[in-house]
Amino acid sequence: MVIDKMGKKVAIILFCGIIIFGLIIWNNTRIGKKSNIQISQNDISMMIKEGTLTNTKATLIIKNNSDKEVQYGESFQIEIKKNNKWYQLNEKHERFFTLAAIILDAGEQREIELNWEYGYGKLKKGTYRIIKDMAYCLENEKCNSFNAAVEFVIK
What's the pLDDT tens digit per position in 50-94? 999 999 999 999 999 999 899 999 999 999 999 999 999 998 877
Q: Hey, where are the domains in the chain?
A: 1-31, 35-154
Confidence of residue 5 (pLDDT cuts 50, 70, 90): low
Question: Could you tell me which CATH class the domain 35-154 is placed in?
Answer: mainly beta
**Cβ proximity of 71 and 110 under 8 Å:** no
Does an H or E element contain 10, and which? helix 2-28
**Cβ proximity of 131 and 37 under 8 Å:** yes
